[in-house]
């Protein structure tokens, strides 16, 4: 056990972990963070706090993470390499840790082109792998990236993302290996709709024994409607949505589609539970956080174990 | 100028060809031979060459000025090194045989030394009676030259009329009078003879009903041409002879002396009169006022040539020329007004009409002249009953005597394009009596060394043609010249009359020398047609040929703005300024050359293609025939007999065997052309050949298009649905195969113009009338009792085909006219056919029971083939998808794209005989190109300035022909012998390191300056 | 090669509006090759400026000159005879050229007429693409000859992000994913194993993070 | 106001448009005398600068007349010309000149009628646009060059 992270403890216990996420508001209203986090309160082991998600300016993940922490919950602070150079990252990390945030997720971040400041210069001083490595060295070697010693090292449980569906596919397992090499502790995957392909990826992961070295939380997103499914299929980069998913949603009336979406999410969890190497689920109910408890319950993941 | 004496390196005389007759056909034949580097002697009994065409005002179907059209050829004749011209000369004896004739020539005295005569005109001014003048309506034509661009450019004296020789000699400052000139006789060796003497025009004075030669205002077609001509008696003003008034109502009467059985008539059709009458009527309305009422009296409107039907439609529909189908009975002159009353009967009216006209033109046709009849005797050739040359059934230029060839009207009545085709064909045949040309024969310098004008300030000469009415009639040339003179660099600005005439050319040469000019601007016709001529002129005076600018004052100014002379004038000023500004920047340039491929590609393996290929191969040219079908023969395979009764199958088989056995011919059947590149003289064509479609690429210098046409089969009149409705082609087979069936037919109905002369295919298919006559006569032969009805719109049995038409009528074949708005109907009830039609003479609808309905369906272009090839070869097509030749009149087998020649039905529908002629012609023309041995690429190539080149590769990438490359010095290099001269690289070069010579940026900008200055 | 493109003409017009006599200077190097500021573009810009002044009813005197290279003082010296005859200089060179001219002729206002975009390579006629960021520490030797700094939209050094779609970058289907290219290339070279080598955080100093770059070659410098 | 007679320059390729213009002449088809032709071997030779300079020197309109697309004697010169015409249109637009003052037209050698019709239509277009913006200021067309 390296850290105080609740997530780490759950995973260490061998139980299936459940995380979810909460996008900070586009304004200085802490109650919005609180409202969202409250919905997830009893049903998850950690709440991802996104960092200027889709390159739109939001309350910083650092600040929103503190709010959640102060509610007694467990934020997972996301950090993208797009917006900060290595100095800013490290100062935020020690600052967050000082507020008790002990779990974080290292990401490259969506390109600024997609957000509300497309004219912004992306920083990309270091990439996500290098960030993992930096955070691990801060924790384990108690040194800054530049080499200086840290007085009071941040003991972060380090997460990263993996997209089993982006191409080149054959690189996806290797990329995971690289993140492991850099020092990642847990992985949250991209939303899984193509279960066959996910299984194929997981087979690659287990064949190399990588599941022994990292905890993989499978990404689950419930579809609210067939329109959303189509949008994600066509517009969201790195997303793999089989036609069967769309067909199934088309097969029911508009009113029933949300319910069908939840049903599908639950079925996915049931199936993924059987896959070797999967240690938990990361449920991303986009602007639909209130449904997370229902999914967790229906998937038999409730109540959450106490650690 | 003309070469009277053979030069020292003269070729052995046995290689000479004698061309008799200096009309447009004789000139063409002589030029073809000379261009193929064969020595030619052209003789003409007149004192200047040019023949009939030089007397015409304009020519159909382009309505161009004839002189302008023909003059480039005439002066070309004078300068061609292998060509000797002997005017006033006739043949009196021909002995020996093909390849080794001995010809006795007699030259009449001219009493003028053509080398000295400057044609100043003093003799004609002082002794008008003694100088030979223009024939025609009025002996006192404004110019005493036969026409302004005369060749040779010299006068001729009628010594019998000279009273004071000393006085005459005194007026001649050039000392050109040869008072003791005598008739001279020469005997020369010739290999072959081309007879192209044309024919006379019928003199209507022998007829008593039309008042020809008797009434002032009754003129012949030729006289009418002279009246309209700018060089004619009225300076190009339309006037009545009786009172000088402009006529308001003119009538043409067709077939005067032709297609008749009366006194003085000949039975054949003269072939050209319908077109020239239409032309004269159109020009009358166009040039002299659309208030002039024009009427043509005709029997059948015979507009059977290529696109001629469109011309006829234009005359009728756009020019509103009144067409009356009637042969008038007589013309009566009103004594006081000298107006003329024509009495005529209409087809459907029993009473005769009488109508008054101001002027009547008699469309008279061709008659063989007395001199020619004698000449035929001298030559020892057979003639037909009308004294035209008798010729080979499959080759109209072969006479009964080997080594003697004919072309033009002396073979049969015909128009200029057909004469040009035959002339080229006859020249090609005449070559076969000569030994194959040695490959290493060198061309030698024709021009003096060039003056170096670099560094000199421009001294510009501006010469403006008035071109008779064409330019001078619209522009004030003198005013134009005044403006030109205000340019400080313009040293001379002169009007030069017909700039392209020998006289004017000589004047310009003199002025260039006299004024030490180093730049020349010519204001006249389009540079497209006349640039080469003036470039030659510059070379003759030692100037680089690129130091001339041609300003297009005619085609792009006076012709288009003739109705707004003030606008034409100010545009002319500007255009001339552009020319002057541009020429200042012109630089001397060197033409680039490349050796020419000596192979030929013939596309199409029908009769035309095979004939052309054999002709080329016989001259040692490696020839490829590409044929789409599995075997040679083409459409002729489905024809059994010609109208003359010849067996087509035997003929075609003979050709196929000859082609197969020829060492120089490679036949590629089941082959299609898939790609094409290169340039004239060096083409590369990719072919997929054989069942396996193997790819091969051939190099060739020339291409002959002989892709033929398709038999038309429109779904009309029950064709394809009624068993007994067949085409003439099918009838042709039936006649050979099933005599019994023919004999069983009681009534046969033939319908003409099926699928032709209709809105969707407006042209005449030319061959169908003769095909109908051919088959009708054969039916009558097999089964005299069979009744034959021919439903026609106009019977177009042109030339001697008229005889078959007459014979058919004599045998009882019934001819019933129909019109498009009352077309016949074929009705089948219970397997019995009946044809319903309107009989105009009876003025009632009739029904004819028919055992067989034969449709005259004609030929249509093979649209797909011509489209594919047109795209591949970049060739133009006509509206009905036949290939379009370069000049419908004067270059009927040359395509606009050099190196391409056209023959047979790919050009337009025609008979086998006509196709064969054109095949010979195309082969002959192709040889003239190959004879040059090298390709002149011109000087218009891209040039790189290595100092400016940034080696950016833009030129390498944009060149459509992949010519530029970056050389060892690291800069772009564009080889002149590969550059096509499009200038795309120059337009895109970001460093402005490339200029297209002759079109450099400073030249284009200078032209813009010229346009907008002052 | 430095790749540039012409500035919007109205911006250029604004710059030179106060001046009557303009010295318009092209460069026969990179900007000629990328068709932004060679002799041809100089001519076209001059003509456009003339058209503009015609419309404004003004007169403008433009002297066109294209130097071999505007970033070398010796070539820039060639402007000396003309500089006093001009009220302003309009340079069609890249930023290096503009500054060399401005540095030499201190009394004359010098304006840029092109925007310098990137160091690029030509992909064919009329198409240029960025290929180098000038990071000062070339990694092409370990990335199969394809630069992740210049060609990955996020300069990722350790593999593709999750946004790759059909082998293309998330920012546009027209942009190749550099890491897909690197991976294909490594595979073709049989160097797949290289991929899992961690590439450490880059030292950006040689590429400009350490202040304006400068190279002095002791053996050559005088 | 005096009737506006525009000055129009037409760059015509030798093989098609120039021949078509001659053809219009031989058919006696009239078209406005405002159009003055400058002959080039191929429209691919016509550089953007030629169009610009023509306007600069005083033309109210300029057009490039080449072969039909696909029929260029030099394969694609007319396509290059079109691209350059489009570029000049863009520059004119940026300068506040009417882009319609330049144009690309295509015709085959036989299309005398089309040549005349095009000349007519273009002249009418320019007449509607009025004199070149370069002339309105009374500055004339004199430009130091």
Whether the CB of C41 is below 8 Å from some CB of chain B: the reply is yes
Q: Domain for residue C222, yes or no?
A: no
Residues B694, B722 within the same domain:
no
Chain B residue with minimal CA distance to C27?
Answer: B991
The answer to whether A81 and A124 have CB atoms below 8 angstroms apart is yes
Chain A residue with minimal CA distance to C165?
Answer: A238
Using CA atoms, how far apart are residues B884 and B908, in angstroms rounded to an integer?
9
Number of domains in chain A: 1
Residue B964 tokens read as 């530029």
Chain C residue with minimal CA distance to B994?
Answer: C40
Q: Domain for residue B867, yes or no?
A: yes
Write out chain B residues lying below 8 Å of D19, CB-based. 528, 896
What is the pLDDT, as a whole number, of residue B805?
97
Neighbouring CB atoms inside 10 A of C212's CB total 5
Number of domains in chain B: 7
Instruction: Show Cβ contacts of residue D3 under 8 Å, excluding neighbours closer than 6 positions.
Output: none
Residues C138, C107 within the same domain:
no
Number of domains in chain C: 2
Measured between CB atoms, which of C155, C166, C196 is closest to A167? C166
Q: Domain for residue B279, yes or no?
A: yes
Query: Going by beta carbons, is chain A in contact with chain D, meaning 3 or more pairs sit under 8 Å apart?
Result: no
Residue B274: which H helix or E strand, with range?
helix B273-288
Measured between CB atoms, which of A124, A129, A167 is closest to C155? A124
The answer to whether A139 and A156 have CB atoms below 8 angstroms apart is yes
Q: Domain for residue A246, yes or no?
A: yes
Residues B901, B949 within the same domain:
no
Write out chain C residues lying below 8 Å of A166, CB-based. 160-165
Residues B623, B514 within the same domain:
no
The answer to whether B467 and B560 have CB atoms below 8 angstroms apart is no
Reported residue count of chain C is 222
Angle CA(B76)–CA(B82)–CA(B88) in degrees, nearest 5? 75
Residues B193, B51 within the same domain:
yes
B801-839 as b/e: b if 16+ CB within 10 A: bbbbbbebeeeebebbbbeeeebbebebeeeebbbebbb
Neighbouring CB atoms inside 10 A of D69's CB total 12
Residues B901, B865 within the same domain:
yes
Residues B610, B466 within the same domain:
no
A196-206: pLDDT as tens digits: 999 999 999 99
Range(s) of the domain holding residue C161: 134-207
E-strand ranges in B691-820 read 694-700, 702-705, 709-711, 725-727, 747-751, 787-792, 814-817
Q: Domain for residue B623, yes or no?
A: yes
Q: Domain for residue B263, yes or no?
A: yes
Residue B584: which H helix or E strand, with range?
helix B565-584
Residue D142 has pLDDT above 60, yes or no: no
Measured between CB atoms, which of D36, D45, D74 is closest to B571? D36
For residue B795, what is the domain's CATH number? 3.50.50.60
Range(s) of the domain holding residue A222: 6-298
Using CA atoms, how far apart are residues B371 and B21, in angstroms rounded to an integer?
12
What is the pLDDT, as a whole number, of residue B147?
45
A126 to C166: CB separation less than 8 angstroms, yes or no: no
Residue D78: which H helix or E strand, with range?
helix D77-95
Is B25 or B440 the better-scoring residue by pLDDT?
Answer: B25
Write out chain B residues lying below 8 Å of C29, CB-based. 950
Range(s) of the domain holding residue B162: 109-182
Range with the lowest mean pLDDT among B259-263, B702-706, B784-788, D64-68?
B259-263
Residue B708 has pLDDT above 80, yes or no: yes
User: Quick one: average pLDDT of A230-243?
Assistant: 87
Residue D117 pLDDT level (bands cut at 50, 70, 90):
very high
C198 to A163: CB separation less than 8 angstroms, yes or no: no
What is the pLDDT, as a whole number, of residue B104?
96
Q: Domain for residue B4, yes or no?
A: no
C164 to A237: CB separation less than 8 angstroms, yes or no: yes
Residues C25, C80 within the same domain:
yes
Inter-chain contacts counted by CB atoms under 8 A, chains C and D: 58
Write out chain D residues lying below 8 Å of C8, CB-based. 94
Domain-terminating residue out of B857, B889, B912: B857
Q: Domain for residue B453, yes or no?
A: no
In 3-state terms, what secondary structure has residue B808? helix
Is A164 or D140 the better-scoring residue by pLDDT?
Answer: A164
The backbone region for D103, taken as left when phi is positive above 0, alpha when psi lies in -120 to 50, beta otherwise, is beta
- Which of C9, C12, C45, C47 is the best substitution to test chain D (most D C-beta atoms within 10 A)? C47
User: Read out DSSP for C45-73?
Assistant: HHHHHHHHHHHHT---EEEEEEES-TTSH
Using CA atoms, how far apart are residues C132 and C135, in angstroms rounded to an integer?
8
Measured between CB atoms, which of D33, D36, D58 is closest to B561? D33
Angle CA(B823)–CA(B827)–CA(B829) in degrees, nearest 5? 170
Interface confidence, given as ipTM, is 0.90
Burial of B425 (0-12, 13-18, 19+ CB in 10 A): buried
What is the pLDDT, as a whole number, of residue B97?
93
Task: List the one residue out of B734, B678, B670, B733 whose CA is nearest residue B701.
Answer: B678
B337-388: pLDDT as tens digits: 999 999 999 887 878 899 999 999 999 999 999 999 999 999 999 999 999 9
C156 to A124: CB separation less than 8 angstroms, yes or no: yes
The answer to whether B293 and B74 have CB atoms below 8 angstroms apart is no
C35 to B990: CB separation less than 8 angstroms, yes or no: yes
C84-109: pLDDT as tens digits: 999 999 999 999 999 999 999 999 99
C129-183: pLDDT as tens digits: 999 999 999 999 999 999 999 999 999 999 999 888 889 999 999 999 999 999 9
Using CA atoms, how far apart are residues B81 and B35, in angstroms rounded to an integer?
9
C155-187 as b/e: b if 16+ CB within 10 A: bbbbbbbbbbbebbbbbeeeebbbbbbbbeebe
Count CA within 13 A, CB hemisphere, residue B512.
24
Measured between CB atoms, which of D47, D97, D144 is closest to C55? D97
The answer to whether B161 and B128 have CB atoms below 8 angstroms apart is no
Task: List the one residue out of A143, B241, B647, B797 whose CA is nearest residue B233.
Answer: B241
Our measurement of the distance from residue B304's CA atom to the centroid of its chain's CA atoms, rounded to an integer in Å, reads 16
Residues C92, C161 within the same domain:
no
Count CA within 13 A, CB hemisphere, residue A101.
28
Q: Domain for residue B1014, yes or no?
A: no
The CA-atom distances, in angstroms, between C138 and each of C54, C198, C202, D4 are 51, 16, 10, 65
CATH homologous superfamily for the domain D8-129 = Lumazine/riboflavin synthase (3.40.50.960)
Whether the CB of D8 is below 8 Å from some CB of chain B: the reply is no
Range with the lowest mean pLDDT among A263-272, A273-282, B284-293, B951-960?
B284-293
Q: Domain for residue C85, yes or no?
A: yes
Using CA atoms, how far apart are residues A189 and A127, in angstroms rounded to an integer?
18
- Interfacial B residues in 844-883 facing D (CB < 8 Å): 871, 874, 876
Report phi then psi at C83, rounded to 5.
Answer: -65, -35
Residues B629, B550 within the same domain:
no
What is the pLDDT, as a whole number, of residue B138?
40
A36-73 as b/e: b if 16+ CB within 10 A: bbebbeebbbbbbbbbbbebeebbbbbbbbbbbbeeeb
At CB < 8 A and 24+ separation, what contacts does B438-441 make? B439/B933, B441/B37
Measured between CB atoms, which of B950, B953, B957 is closest to C28? B950
- Interfacial D residues in 27-46 facing B (CB < 8 Å): 28-31, 33, 36-42, 44-46
Residues C33, C108 within the same domain:
yes
Residues C12, C67 within the same domain:
yes
Q: Are strands B395-399 and B391-392 parallel, antiparallel or unpaired?
A: antiparallel
Chain C residue with minimal CA distance to A233?
Answer: C165
Distance from CA of A184 to the nearest CA of C (A): 13
Residue B540 has pLDDT above 80, yes or no: yes
DSSP summary character for residue B318: T
User: Quick one: average pLDDT of C195-213?
Assistant: 93
Q: Which residues face B86 on adjacent strands?
A: B43
B958 to C125: CB separation less than 8 angstroms, yes or no: yes
Residue B144 has pLDDT above 50, yes or no: no
For residue C77, what is the domain's CATH number? 3.40.50.2300
The answer to whether B590 and B546 have CB atoms below 8 angstroms apart is no
Q: Domain for residue C30, yes or no?
A: yes
What is the pLDDT, as a whole number, of residue A287?
84
Q: Domain for residue C169, yes or no?
A: yes
The answer to whether A114 and A55 have CB atoms below 8 angstroms apart is yes
Write out chain B residues lying below 8 Å of D37, CB-based. 552, 556
Measured between CB atoms, which of D47, D55, D144 is closest to C51? D55
Domain-terminating residue out of C118, C152, C185: C118
Mean pLDDT of chain B: 89
Measured between CB atoms, which of C153, C171, C201 is closest to A126? C201
Write out chain B residues lying below 8 Å of C35, CB-based. 954, 990
Residues B207, B194 within the same domain:
no
B441-499: pLDDT as tens digits: 555 456 889 999 988 999 999 999 987 678 988 999 999 999 999 999 999 999 988 77
The answer to whether B144 and B128 have CB atoms below 8 angstroms apart is yes
Residue D40 tokens read as 């080039």
Is B517 or B888 the better-scoring residue by pLDDT?
Answer: B517
Q: Domain for residue A1, yes or no?
A: no
- Which of C154, C177, C180 is the best substitution to test chain A (most A C-beta atoms within 10 A)? C154
Domain-terminating residue out of C50, C84, C118: C118
Domain-terminating residue out of C67, C89, C118: C118
Domain-terminating residue out of B587, B609, B643: B587
Residue B349 tokens read as 């009216």
Using CA atoms, how far apart are residues B119 and B653, in angstroms rounded to an integer?
57
Q: Domain for residue A303, yes or no?
A: no
What is the pLDDT, as a whole number, of residue B145?
38
Residue B423 tokens read as 């002339």
Q: Domain for residue B722, yes or no?
A: yes
Residue C65 tokens read as 């000159």
Residues B757, B904 within the same domain:
no
Domain-terminating residue out of B885, B905, B935: B935
Residues C96, C26 within the same domain:
yes
DSSP summary character for residue D59: -
For residue A59, what is the domain's CATH number? 3.20.20.220
Range with the lowest mean pLDDT among B464-468, C74-78, D89-93?
B464-468
Q: Domain for residue A146, yes or no?
A: yes
What is the pLDDT, as a whole number, of residue B426?
97
Residues B883, B816 within the same domain:
no
Residues B476, B527 within the same domain:
yes
């Amino acid at each position: 056990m390296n850290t105080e992270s609740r997530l780490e403890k759950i995973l260490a216990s061998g139980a299936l972990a459940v995380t979810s996420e909460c996008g900070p508001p586009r304004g200085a209203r802490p109650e919005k963070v609180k409202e969202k986090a409250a919905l997830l309160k009893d049903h998850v082991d950690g709440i991802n706090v996104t960092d200027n998600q889709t390159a739109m300016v939001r309350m910083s993940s650092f600040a929103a993470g503190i709010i959640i922490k102060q509610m007694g919950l467990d934020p997972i602070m996301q950090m993208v390499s797009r917006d900060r150079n290595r100095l800013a990252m490290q100062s935020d990390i020690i600052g967050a840790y000082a507020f008790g945030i002990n779990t974080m997720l290292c990401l490259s971040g969506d390109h600024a082109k997609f957000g509300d400041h497309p004219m912004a210069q992306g920083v990309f001083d270091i990439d996500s792998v290098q960030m993992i490595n930096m955070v691990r060295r801060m924790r384990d070697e108690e040194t800054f990236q530049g080499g200086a010693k840290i007085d009071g090292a941040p003991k972060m449980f380090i997460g990263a993302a993996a997209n089993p569906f982006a191409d080149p596919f054959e690189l996806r397992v290797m990329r995971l290996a690289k993140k492991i090499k850099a020092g990642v502790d847990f992985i949250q995957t991209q939303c899984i709709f193509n279960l066959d392909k996910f299984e194929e990826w997981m087979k690659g992961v287990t064949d190399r024994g990588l599941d022994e070295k990292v905890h993989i939380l499978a990404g689950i997103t419930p579809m609210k409607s067939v329109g959303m499914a189509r949008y994600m299929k066509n517009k969201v980069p790195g997303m793999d949505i089989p036609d069967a998913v769309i067909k199934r949603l088309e097969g029911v009336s508009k009113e029933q589609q949300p319910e069908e979406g939840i049903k599908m999410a639950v079925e996915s969890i049931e199936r993924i539970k059987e896959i070797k190497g999967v240690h938990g689920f990361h449920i991303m109910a986009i602007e639909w956080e209130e449904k997370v408890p229902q999914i967790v319950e229906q998937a038999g993941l409730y109540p959450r174990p106490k650690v | 100028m003309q070469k009277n004496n053979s030069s020292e390196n003269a070729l052995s005389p046995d290689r000479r060809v004698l061309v008799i007759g200096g009309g447009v056909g004789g000139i063409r034949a002589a030029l073809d031979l000379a261009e193929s580097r064969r020595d030619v002697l052209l003789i003409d009994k007149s004192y200047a060459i040019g023949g009939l065409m030089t007397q015409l005002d304009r020519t159909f179907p382009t309505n161009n000025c004839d002189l302008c059209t023909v003059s480039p050829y005439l002066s070309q004749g004078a300068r061609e090194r292998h060509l000797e011209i002997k005017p006033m000369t006739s043949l009196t004896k021909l002995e020996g045989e093909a390849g080794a004739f001995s010809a006795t020539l007699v030259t009449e005295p001219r009493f003028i030394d053509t080398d000295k005569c400057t044609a100043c005109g003093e003799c004609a001014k002082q002794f008008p009676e003694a100088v030979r003048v223009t024939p025609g309506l009025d002996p006192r034509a404004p110019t005493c030259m036969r026409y302004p661009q005369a060749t040779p450019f010299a006068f001729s004296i009628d010594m019998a009329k000279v009273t004071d020789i000393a006085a005459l000699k005194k007026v001649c400052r050039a000392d050109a009078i040869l008072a003791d000139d005598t008739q001279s006789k020469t005997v020369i060796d010739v290999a072959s003879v081309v007879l192209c003497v044309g024919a006379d025009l019928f003199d209507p004075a022998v007829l008593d009903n039309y008042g020809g030669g008797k009434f002032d205002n009754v003129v012949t077609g030729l006289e009418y041409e002279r009246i309209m001509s700018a060089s004619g008696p009225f300076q190009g003003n339309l006037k009545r002879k009786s009172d000088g008034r402009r006529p308001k109502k003119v009538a043409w009467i067709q077939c005067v002396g032709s297609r008749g059985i009366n006194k003085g008539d000949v039975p054949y059709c003269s072939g050209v009169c319908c077109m020239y009458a239409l032309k004269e009527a159109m020009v009358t309305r166009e040039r002299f006022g659309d208030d002039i009422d024009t009427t043509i009296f005709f029997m059948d409107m015979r507009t059977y040539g290529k696109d001629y039907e469109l011309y006829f439609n234009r005359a009728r529909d756009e020019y509103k020329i009144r067409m009356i189908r009637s042969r008038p009975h007589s013309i009566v002159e009103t004594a006081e007004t000298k107006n003329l009353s024509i009495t005529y009967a209409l087809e459907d009216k029993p009473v005769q009409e009488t109508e008054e006209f101001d002027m009547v033109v008699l469309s008279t046709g061709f008659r063989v002249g007395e001199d020619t009849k004698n000449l035929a005797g001298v030559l020892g050739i057979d003639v037909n009953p009308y004294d035209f040359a008798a010729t080979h059934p499959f080759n109209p230029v072969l006479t009964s005597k080997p080594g003697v060839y004919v072309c033009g009207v002396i073979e049969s009545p015909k128009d200029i394009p057909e004469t040009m085709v035959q002339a080229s064909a006859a020249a090609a045949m005449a070559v076969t009596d000569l030994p194959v040309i040695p490959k290493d024969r060198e061309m030698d310098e024709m021009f003096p060394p060039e003056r170096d004008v670099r560094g000199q300030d421009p001294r510009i000469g501006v010469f403006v043609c008035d071109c008779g009415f064409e330019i001078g009639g619209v522009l004030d040339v003198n005013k134009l010249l005044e403006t030109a003179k205000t340019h400080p660099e313009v040293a001379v600005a002169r009007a030069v009359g017909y700039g392209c005439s020998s006289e004017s050319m000589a004047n310009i040469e003199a002025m260039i020398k006299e004024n030490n000019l180093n730049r020349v601007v010519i204001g006249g016709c389009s540079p497209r047609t006349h640039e080469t001529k003036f470039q030659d002129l510059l070379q003759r005076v030692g100037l680089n040929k690129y130091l001339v600018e041609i300003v297009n004052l005619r085609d792009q100014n006076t012709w288009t703005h003739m109705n707004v002379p003030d606008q034409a004038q100010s545009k002319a000023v500007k255009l001339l300024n552009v020319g002057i500004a541009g020429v200042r920047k012109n630089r001397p340039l060197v033409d680039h050359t490349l050796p020419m491929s000596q192979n030929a590609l013939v596309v199409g393996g029908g009769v035309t293609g095979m004939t052309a290929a054999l002709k080329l191969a016989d001259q040692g040219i490696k020839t490829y025939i590409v044929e789409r079908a599995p075997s040679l023969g083409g459409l002729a395979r489905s024809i059994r007999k010609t109208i003359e009764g010849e067996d087509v199958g035997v003929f075609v088989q003979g050709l196929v065997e000859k082609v197969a056995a020829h060492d120089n011919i490679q036949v590629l059947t089941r082959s299609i052309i898939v790609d094409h590149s290169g340039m004239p003289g060096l083409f590369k064509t990719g072919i997929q050949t054989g069942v396996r479609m193997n790819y091969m690429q051939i190099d060739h210098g020339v291409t002959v298009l002989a892709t033929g046409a398709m038999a038309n089969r429109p779904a009309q009149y029950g064709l394809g649905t009624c068993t007994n409705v067949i085409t003439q082609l099918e009838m042709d087979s039936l006649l050979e195969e099933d005599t019994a069936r023919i004999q069983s037919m009681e009534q046969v109905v033939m319908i003409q113009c099926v699928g032709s002369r209709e809105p969707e295919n407006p042209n005449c298919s030319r061959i169908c009338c003769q095909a109908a006559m051919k088959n009708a006569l054969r039916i009558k032969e097999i089964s005299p009792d069979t009744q034959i009805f021919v439903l026609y719109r106009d019977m177009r049995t042109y030339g001697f085909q008229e005889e078959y038409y007459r014979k058919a009528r004599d045998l009882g074949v019934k001819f019933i006219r129909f019109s498009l708005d009352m077309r016949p109907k074929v009705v089948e009830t219970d397997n019995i056919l009946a044809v319903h039609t309107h009989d105009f003479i009876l003025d009632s609808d009739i029904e004819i029971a028919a055992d067989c309905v034969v449709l005259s369906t004609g030929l249509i272009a093979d649209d797909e083939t011509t489209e594919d090839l047109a795209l591949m070869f970049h060739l133009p097509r006509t509206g009905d998808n036949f290939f379009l030749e370069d000049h419908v009149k004067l270059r009927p087998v040359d395509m606009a794209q050099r190196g391409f020649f056209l023959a047979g039905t790919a050009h337009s529908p025609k008979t086998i005989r006509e196709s064969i002629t054109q095949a010979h012609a195309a082969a002959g023309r192709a040889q003239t190109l190959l004879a040059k041995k090298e390709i002149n690429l011109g000087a218009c190539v891209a040039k790189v300035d290595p100092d400016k080149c940034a080696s950016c590769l833009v030129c390498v990438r944009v060149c459509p022909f992949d010519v530029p490359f970056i050389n060892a010095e690291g800069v772009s290099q564009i080889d002149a012998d590969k550059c096509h001269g499009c200038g795309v690289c120059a337009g895109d070069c970001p460093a402005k390191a490339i200029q297209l010579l002759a079109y450099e940026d400073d030249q284009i900008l200078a032209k813009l300056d010229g346009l907008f200055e002052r | 090669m430095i790749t540039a493109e012409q500035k919007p003409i109205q911006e250029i017009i604004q710059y030179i509006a106060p001046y009557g006599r303009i010295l318009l200077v092209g460069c026969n190097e990179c900007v000629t090759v990328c068709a932004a500021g060679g002799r041809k573009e100089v001519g076209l810009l001059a003509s456009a400026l003339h058209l503009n002044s015609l419309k404004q009813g003004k007169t403008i005197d433009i002297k066109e000159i294209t130097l071999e290279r505007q970033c070398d003082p010796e070539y820039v010296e060639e402007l000396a005879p003309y500089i006093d005859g001009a009220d302003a200089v309009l340079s069609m060179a890249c930023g290096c050229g503009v500054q060399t001219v401005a540095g030499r002729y201190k009394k004359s206002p010098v304006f840029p007429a092109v925007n310098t975009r990137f160091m690029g390579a030509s992909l064919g006629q009329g198409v240029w693409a960025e290929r180098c960021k000038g990071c000062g520490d070339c990694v092409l030797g370990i990335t199969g000859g394809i630069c992740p700094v210049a060609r990955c939209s996020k300069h990722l050094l350790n593999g593709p992000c999750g946004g790759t779609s059909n082998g293309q970058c998330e920012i546009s289907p027209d942009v190749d994913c550099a890491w897909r290219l690197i991976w294909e290339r490594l595979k073709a070279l049989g160097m797949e194993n290289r991929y899992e080598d961690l590439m450490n955080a880059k030292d950006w100093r040689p590429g400009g993070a350490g202040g304006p770059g400068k190279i002095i070659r002791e053996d050559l410098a005088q | 106001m005096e009737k506006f007679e525009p000055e129009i320059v037409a760059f015509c390729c030798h093989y098609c448009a120039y021949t078509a213009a001659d053809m219009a002449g031989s058919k006696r088809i009239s078209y406005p005398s405002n159009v003055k032709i400058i002959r080039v071997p191929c429209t691919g030779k016509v550089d953007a600068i030629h169009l610009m300079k023509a306007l600069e020197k005083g033309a109210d309109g300029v057009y490039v007349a080449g072969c039909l697309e696909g029929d260029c004697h030099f394969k694609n010169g007319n396509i290059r010309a079109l691209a350059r015409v489009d570029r000049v249109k863009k520059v004119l637009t940026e300068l506040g000149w009417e882009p319609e003052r330049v144009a690309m037209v295509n015709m085959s050698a036989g299309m005398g009628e089309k040549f005349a019709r095009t000349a007519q239509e273009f002249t009418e277009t320019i007449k509607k646009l009025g004199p070149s913006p370069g002339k309105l200021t009374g500055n004339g067309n004199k430009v130091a060059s």
